Structure 1
Amino acid sequence: MSLDDLTEEIESRYDDLGDETTLRLDRETRNELALLQSALDLDDADELLRRAVHQFFQATVETGRLDFHLRSGYDVTYDEYLSGMTYDEMTGDVGLSDQAQDDVQRYQY
């Protein structure tokens, strides 16, 4: 898989989600959500769920788990996804013949 494959997958799943998502909550999750909603005095459980997704995403990025899964499945990192190009493309190492690669290395200090 590649960066293009990842981008296509994200766009497809984004479209599938739409503006609203319905999800089933198990008993434990429903109880925790009700407790948080009461403690934080929020009327809208949707806001808590949005916050939870943001926090989970941030934790996954910070711990390197997102990069691990992206590298395993798509051979890219989150930084590469954000920039729209792989590290090889950024450094110019993609698509060079062996002779051209030797010339590039010869002039590196």
Structure 2
Amino acid sequence: MSLDDFTTDVESAYSELDDELSVSLDSQTKNELAVLSATLGPESTDDLVRRAVHLLFQSTTDSGQLDMHLRRNYDVTYDEYLSGMTYEEMSGGVSPSQPDDKERRYQF
């Protein structure tokens, strides 16, 4: 798989999230959510879920697990995804795919 494959998969997953997100909870998760809700007093439990996603993403990124999984499944890193180019493309080793009209990439 490649950077383009990963980008397509992210865009697809993002559009699917526009539908209402419904999650069923096991008793342990429900209890932990209740404790956090009572303790932190958010406006809604949705706020806690948003925080949880941010924390999971941050810890996965900081520990290198995100890059490990991306490299294994898509042969890219998160930095490559953010830049829209692989390291080989950045160094001039491989020509990037045709950029969209909206994109401007620096040419070396």
TM range (shorter): 0.7 to 0.9
Output the CA distance in 1 between the equivalents of 2:19 and 2:82: 23
Instruction: Kindly report which structure 2 residues correspond to 1:1-109, keeping only aligned pairs within 5 A, or say none.
Output: 1-18=1-18, 20-94=20-94
- CA shift at 1:21, angstroms? 0.5
Structure 2: 5+ residue runs without aligned partners?
Answer: 96-108
- CA shift at 1:17, angstroms? 1.3
Output the CA distance in 2 between the equivalents of 1:49 and 1:63: 21
Q: Deviations over 1:24-49 (max 9, x none)?
A: 00000000000000011224000000
Output the CA distance in 2 between the equivalents of 1:36 and 1:54: 15
- Structure 1 runs of 4+ aligned residues shifted over 4 Å read none
Q: Deviations over 1:2-23 (max 9, x none)?
A: 0000000011111111153110
Structure 1: 5+ residue runs without aligned partners?
Answer: 96-109
Letter in 2 for 1:21: L
Output the CA distance in 2 between the equivalents of 1:19 and 1:58: 24
Residue 67 of structure 2: SS of its match in structure 1?
Answer: helix
Q: How many residues align?
A: 95
Residue 93 of structure 2: SS of its match in structure 1?
Answer: coil
Task: Identify the structure with the greater helix proportion.
Answer: 1
Q: Deviations over 1:80-105 (max 9, x none)?
A: 0000000000000115xxxxxxxxxx
In our comparison, the structure showing a higher alpha carbon Rg is 1
Q: Deviations over 1:36-74 (max 9, x none)?
A: 000112240000000000000000000000000000000
Letter in 1 for 2:70: L
Query: Which residue in 1 is equivalent to 2:99?
Result: none
